[in-house]
Chains A and B, each alone.
Chain A
């Protein structure tokens, strides 16, 4: 019987020929990513072990991205703990270089790898055909100490993409539409696999954006077929694949969706759930206090180009704070070279250092009581961006920028 991409990666990581959905396998991890959201807790647990030991320090990648620059003595203490530990144990360490998942895509992830990240959006790595999944500190610690973990082999939902997105519609509209369709737990424990003739029309940035958000449908991981687009990205970044997998023709999927990309429309996810999606027009006129263009979901150069094109020659609305946060130093420098940062600054936006920013709800751009944020971030949960009585709408870079200009939610059609 045929296997899915997820099954093939897990089988290889378990040292087996085959495995199937529902099996529980012991796997060897290729990489272990952790960020400043929780690493200090992992270190505390590690230090309480009887015989602390790291199986393979070279597999560990630690990234300070959530609260950088630090906003409190408590945060600073967590960073210090992480920095000192990384230094002592020779762990690959990035601080202030950008959002962890973007750093991983630019520098670490290879097709065919199995990666644990102590962050839910680790599923982004599927854009390069790697099995990335988010875990808690305890799972992380076990993997760090033993180099292995156990996994329940997930069922796979297959999405066959066809055609091309219309102008003014983005990958983010696509994945939010999918989440709206299958609901916030529609892919619980499952892998979401993307293939089809439409895939070639999606850039790596689009693919990351899609895979990254799959956890918002409950998915354990997201995976895409590795094609020429993925391989040339990899080559540009000086890496080679570990292995390239495709699902077999007779692989078993729990569900198959065929999606015509040309039918996708610009949408908005309303408070307080990611699957609460409606066409932008339904939210037209909702007054905003802050807009955010950035995050591991939508802070890449392609997204900044979209925003800059929309805002060039225009200005941010009077009382709106428009945060523009490149996802990494590489993105920041590219945007600088292309003149995008100056377009944003001239328009009255606040260009920030690469980091998680208000997507994470601390450190930068925290919103107050009764305030509304429109965001390209990953989540719109109640209180996520600040005060418990505040509101977050999720939308594409284009819609967020258009809204920042107008001061209320609107699409680029109305500029």
Chain B
């Protein structure tokens, strides 16, 4: 009987075959702790009575939610992280480099086949390189810090196959939104999602990241892509037999298989206030917007900024509309400086902020008030996430976001 990708990754790690439902204890390759959760994880770690961190080199601390700090107590979190790192010999600390989920693969930590846990639900992003990665709470993180291990239940897998060529104004964001709409926000709970097909094969790693990132919005434990040559280029590793083996077997067993034709996708939005409330952009035409947000671990990468710049070049953001651009990392910011993308966006009137979580985490970066409407490229449109509970958040692709910024109302790019 064959294995799905997640069964192979976990099986490799524990050294024996596993099947859905098995509860196994795994050695953890990477622990990511973000600034919001640092003080809480440290507190739990100390309450648990550990004297040392089991594998300090596997721990990465990343300050991103509170950068730039907007409240007087924010820097307490940085200090807590710095003190913890110093005390326990943790050297991998990113203080101003960008969003945690971007950095974990971009900075060369997570590789195909690794098992990672992070104190943030979008840890699933690392599935883009064929790594098992999922979000946990700070208490479990404290346990891993002390033991280097965690128990997991091997999940069933939903396979999603997409074949064909996407329409020009459709991005991987539209695909994952459509899939979440079809699965519903709880449709993949406790399960792994495995993406495959010729459309996926043709995608950049950045586009895959968007889909892995949002798989948690369908409740998934992880969202995986089998690693290929592009993955290896991105991870700066050889495309060898060990990587090639990280492919699901033809006779693997799935809880569900969904098949899509790429040509059938259209630009969509997740409408207020649920991520699975999906509508075609064409149905929303004419919805006036006050702000557009381009950024986040979902869609703040160079290709996203470039897609927006292509549309905004020589044009201008609509009067009385703010367009906020928050690159996902320092590296992306610099690349977008070098290739002229930021200049185009600035010429078009965009407000370009320093890399970080920005508006997506709701502590700054363009908070809104009652009855305002925002089109955003991030991953959640929950009630109150970007201001008051009367703010209307529409999630969309960078293409839709850029076209909307120019028009001042929701339109297709």
Contact = CB atoms under 8 A, between A and B. Distances in A.
Contacts of B343: 333, 336-337
Interface stretch (B1-9, B199-207, B367-375, B394-402): B367-375
Contact of B347 (A321, A333, A371): A333
A363 B365 CA distance: 8
Given A350-B68, A367-B75, 18 more contacts: A69-B364, A71-B367, A76-B372, A77-B370, A80-B290, A319-B95, A332-B346, A332-B352, A345-B337, A348-B330, A350-B67, A352-B354, A362-B70, A364-B69, A366-B70, A366-B72, A368-B72, A387-B72
Contacts of A353: 351-354
A167 interface: no
A353 B327 CA distance: 12
B87 to A, nearest CB: 15
Interface string B344-370: 001100011110001100011111111
Nearest to B351: A96
Interface of A: 68-73, 75-77, 79-80, 83, 87, 93, 95-96, 289, 318-319, 321, 323, 329, 332-333, 336-337, 341-342, 345-346, 348, 350-353, 357-358, 362-369, 371, 386-387
A311 to B, nearest CB: 14
B76 interface: yes
Nearest to A81: B369
B290 to A, nearest CB: 8
A336 B342 contact: yes
B387 interface: yes
Contacts of B30: none
A369 B334 contact: no
A362 B342 CA distance: 25
B364 to A, nearest CB: 4
B72 to A, nearest CB: 5
B86 to A, nearest CB: 10
B67 A336 contact: no
B368 A368 contact: no
B36 to A, nearest CB: 15
B388 A321 contact: no
Nearest to B368: A76
A240 B316 CA distance: 28
B70, B334, B347 pick with most chain A CB within 10 angstroms:
B70
Contact of A366 (B71, B346, B369, B388): B71
Given A76-B387, A345-B334, A363 B364 contact: yes
A71 B358 CA distance: 10
B132 interface: no
A227 B284 CA distance: 57
Given A71-B70, A353-B351, A365-B69, A289 B365 contact: no
A371 B75 CA distance: 9
B79 interface: yes
Contacts of A345: 330, 333-334, 337
A299 B382 CA distance: 37
Contacts of A364: 68-70, 364
A381 B338 CA distance: 39
Nearest to B352: A353
A352 B68 contact: yes
B369 A77 contact: yes
B322 interface: yes
A80 B369 contact: yes
Closest 4 CB pairs of A and B: A368-B75, A69-B366, A76-B369, A364-B68
A164 to B, nearest CB: 35
Contact of A346 (B334, B354, B368): B334
Nearest to A354: B351
A304 to B, nearest CB: 14
18 contacts: A69-B358, A70-B364, A70-B367, A71-B363, A73-B388, A76-B367, A321-B96, A323-B354, A333-B343, A333-B346, A346-B334, A350-B68, A352-B68, A358-B68, A363-B70, A367-B72, A368-B79, A386-B72
B405 interface: no
Contacts of B75: 289, 366-368, 371, 386
Contacts of B333: 345, 351
A69 B365 contact: yes
A83 B387 CA distance: 18
Interface in B200-244: none
A172 B278 CA distance: 55
A96 B322 contact: yes
Interface string B331-342: 001100110001
A61 to B, nearest CB: 16
A77 B390 CA distance: 12
Contacts of B76: 368-369
Contact of A75 (B68, B73, B324, B367): B367
A240 B82 CA distance: 54
Given A69-B364, A329-B346, A365 B68 contact: yes
B76, B82, B96, B363 pick with most chain A CB within 10 angstroms:
B96
A366 B364 CA distance: 12
A224 to B, nearest CB: 31
Given A321-B96, A364-B70, A73 B338 contact: no
A94 B406 CA distance: 17
B252 to A, nearest CB: 45
Given A342-B338, A365-B69, A368-B73, A73 B367 contact: yes
Given A333-B346, A351-B333, A70 B338 contact: no
B353 A69 contact: yes
A340 to B, nearest CB: 10
A168 to B, nearest CB: 28
A348 B354 CA distance: 11
Contacts of B73: 368
A364 B67 CA distance: 8
Contacts of A68: 351
Given A76-B368, A353-B351, A342 B69 contact: no
Nearest to A366: B69
A380 B33 CA distance: 34
Contacts of A366: 68-72, 74-75
A332 B346 CA distance: 9
A348 B63 CA distance: 14
Contacts of A83: 320
A333 B358 CA distance: 22
Contacts of A93: 320
A176 B352 CA distance: 32
Contact of B369 (A73, A319, A333): A73
A77 to B, nearest CB: 4
Given A70-B368, A321-B95, A353-B351, A95 B72 contact: no
A371 B74 CA distance: 12
B117 to A, nearest CB: 26
Contacts of B79: 368
Interface in B92-144: 95-96
Nearest to A323: B68
